[in-house]
Amino acid sequence: MTNTQTTDTQAALSQVSTQLWQELLPHIQYFDKANRDLVELAFTQMVMAHNTDQRKSGEFYIIHPVAATITLAEMKMDASTIVATLLHDVPEDTTVTLKDLAKDFSPEVIFLIEGVTKLSKIRYEGEQLYAENLRKMFVAISKDLRVVFIKLADRLHNLSTLTHLRPDKQYRIALESLEIYAPIAERLGISSLQNAIEDEAFQYVHRDIYNQFVTNSNIEIDRRNKILDRVLIKTKLVLTNHGLAPQKVYGRAKKYYSIFKKLDNKSDLTQIYDLVAIRIIVSNIDDCYYTLSCLQQEFEIINHRTKDYIARPKANGYQSLHLTAYDTESQTYFEFQIRTEDMHEFAEYGVAAHFAYKGQQRGQGSSQFVNTENLKWIKELVDIGQQELSPEEYLAKVRLDLFNDRIFVFTPKNHTIDLPTGSTPLDFAFRIHEDIGSRTIMAKVNNHIARLSDTLKNGDTVEILTDKRQRPNAHWLEWVKTKSARSHIKTYLKRGDRD
Which residues participate in catalysis according to the annotation? 92-93
For the residues of 155-177, what is the DSSP string, one character each? Answer: HHHHHHTGGGS-HHHHHHHHHHI
Segment near Mn ion (CB under 5 A); pick from 70-78, 88-96, 250-258, 399-407: 88-96
437 — phi, psi (to 5°)? -55, -50
> Nearest-CA neighbor of 188 among 58, 78, 348, 342?
348
Q: How far is the CB of 165 from Mn ion (least distance, A)?
A: 14
Stretch that binds Mn ion, among 46-54, 152-160, 295-303, 349-357 (CB under 5 A): 152-160
Choices 84-92, 103-111, 291-299, 468-476 (CB under 5 A): range interacting with Mn ion: 84-92
Q: How far is the CB of 377 from Mn ion (least distance, A)?
A: 25
Distance CA 346, CA 340 (A): 10
Strand order in the sheet with 462-466: 448-450, 440-445, 462-466
Q: Can you tell me which of 154, 176, 220, 418 binds Mn ion, judged by CB under 5 A?
A: 154
CA distances to 32, 77, 94, 179 from 363, rounded to whole Å, are 10, 10, 26, 33
Nearer to Mn ion, 154 or 287 (CB): 154
x-or-dash string of contact with Mn ion, 95-134, rule CB under 5 A: ----------------------------------------
Dihedral over alpha carbons 133, 192, 56, 112 (to 10 degrees) = -50
Closest by alpha carbon to 186, among 456, 457, 404? 404
Q: Is 151 in the site for Mn ion (CB under 5 A)?
A: no
The least CB distance from residue 172 to Mn ion, in Å, is 17
Burial of residue 378, with CB atoms counted within 10 A of its CB: 0-12 exposed, 13-18 middle, 19 or more buried: buried
Closest to 257 measured CA to CA, from 186, 319, 340, 201: 201
Residue of closest CB approach to Mn ion: 154
Nearer to Mn ion, 89 or 418 (CB): 89
Q: Pick the closer one to Mn ion by CB: 201 or 485.
A: 201
Interactions with Mn ion, residue window 313-352 (CB under 5 A): none
Count of residues that interact with Mn ion, criterion CB under 5 A: 2
* 85 or 319: CB nearest Mn ion: 85
Cα 376 from Cα 418, distance rounded (Å): 6
Region from 146-154, 163-171, 229-237, 331-339 binding Mn ion, contact rule CB under 5 A: 146-154
Rounded to a whole number of angstroms, the minimum distance from the CB of residue 154 to Mn ion is 4
CB of 129 to Mn ion, least distance (A): 18
Buried-state track 432-447, b at ≥16 Cβ within 10 A, e below 16: bebeebbbbeebebee
CA distance 363 to 365: 6
Report, in Å, the least distance between residue 186 CB and Mn ion: 22
**Cβ nearer to Mn ion, comparing 74 with 383:** 74
Cβ at position 385, least distance to Mn ion in Å: 23
**Which range, of 86-94, 177-185, 227-235, 407-415, touches Mn ion by CB under 5 A?**
86-94
- Tell me the backbone φ, ψ of residue 468, rounded to 5 degrees: -70, -15
- End-to-end C-alpha distance for the chain, whole angstroms: 87
Question: Quick one: 108 or 154, whose CB is closer to Mn ion?
Answer: 154
- CA distance readout (Å), 9 to 5, 48, 216, 414, 486: 6, 14, 44, 46, 67
Residues of the chain by 3-state class (helix, strand, coil), percent to 5: 60, 15, 30
Say if residues 368 and 355 touch (Cβ distance below 8 Å): no
Site track 52-81 with Mn ion (rule: CB under 5 A), x = hit: ------------------------------
What SS3 state is found at 462? Answer: strand
Using the rule CB under 5 A, which residue among 46, 49, 89, 352 binds Mn ion? 89
Binding mask 156-185 for Mn ion (x = CB under 5 A): ------------------------------
**Choices 87-95, 105-113, 301-309, 436-444 (CB under 5 A): range interacting with Mn ion:** 87-95
Contact criterion met (CB below 8 Å) for 289 and 343: no
Q: Least distance (Å) from Mn ion to the CB of residue 175?
A: 19
Nearer to Mn ion, 46 or 419 (CB): 46
Pick 89 or 434: Cβ nearer Mn ion: 89
Residues near Mn ion (CB under 5 A) are 89, 154
